[in-house]
Structure 1
Amino acid sequence: MTNRRDFIIRLSLGGAVLASGQSIAQSAMVTESDPQSMALGYKADASKADKAKFPKYAAGQSCSNCSLYQGKPGDAAGGCPLFAGKQVAANGWCSAWTKKA
């Protein structure tokens, strides 16, 4: 039989686990129409980057091989500090791309 103190502790821990899971699940994908995306020329498909407007783009560059990308290798999407808690497509690209070390 559990006492009141154990119940409160378990309830608190359970709530913390649910809250952390919910914040991960709520990480929305950034859209190409987002003002920050538009300013950086973000495209969810790197091959569709505007090469005339962003001549820095080169084939093979993508979010997944950018130093800012926070996803794991093989992930379809991951975080990027430029997009405030939103996820970017691993195959995406923006003008802030820098080669991962």
Structure 2
Amino acid sequence: MVVSIGIGSALWLTRARADAPHLSESDPAAVAVGYKEDAATVDKAKYPTFAAGQTCGNCSLYQGKESDAWGGCTLFNGKLVAGKGWCASWTNM
């Protein structure tokens, strides 16, 4: 019985996560770290730490597979970030 409750809870969390809202670039938390849905649009003059190839999908804070279009991020609890996005908090895996 405990196992079925645990599995049910895990399924519910997975569904809830898939239904989570996408983080908007205009969200104050996103603005604070320069979040962009597409890393190709990062202002390299404003964020000189950005390097080609860095994306949310290959950041250690990303809570999805690198190939996922959207996934969770430990910085933006409850909102999904674009796998091809980027922010100044990017850290190597």
Structure 1 and Structure 2 fold alike (TM over 0.5):
yes
- After TM superposition, the structure 1 = structure 2 runs for residues 58-69 of structure 1, keeping only pairs within 5 Å, are 58-69=51-62
1:69 and 1:78 map into 2 onto residues whose CA distance is 7
Instruction: Kindly indicate whether the alpha-carbon contact (under 8 Å) linking 2:17 and 2:78 is maintained by their aligned counterparts in 1.
Output: no
Across the aligned residues of Structure 1 and Structure 2, the Cα RMSD in angstroms comes to 1.9
Q: In structure 1, which of residues 34, 50, 58 is the aligned counterpart of residue 43 of structure 2?
A: 50
Larger helix proportion of the pair: 1
Shift of 1:87: 0.6
* 1:80 corresponds to 2:68: no
Match of 1:26 in 2: 19
Shift of 1:22: 5.1
SS, match of residue 36 in structure 1:
helix
With normalisation by structure 2, the TM-score equals: 0.82
SS, match of residue 83 in structure 1:
coil
Runs of 4+ in 1 over 6 A off after TM superposition: none
Match of 1:99 in 2: 92
- Deviation per residue, 1:58-101 (Å, 9 max, x gap): 1100001100000123211100010111110000000000111x
Which blocks of at least 5 consecutive residues in structure 2 are unaligned? none
1:73 and 1:57 map into 2 onto residues whose CA distance is 18
Which blocks of at least 5 consecutive residues in structure 1 are unaligned? 1-12
- Deviation per residue, 1:13-60 (Å, 9 max, x gap): 7xx66x926523431110100001001000000011111111000110
% identity of equivalent residues:
53
Tell me: CA distance 1:61–1:23, structure 2 relative to 1, closer, same or farther (3 Å).
Answer: same
Task: Select the structure of larger CA radius of gyration.
Answer: 1
Match of 1:37 in 2: 30
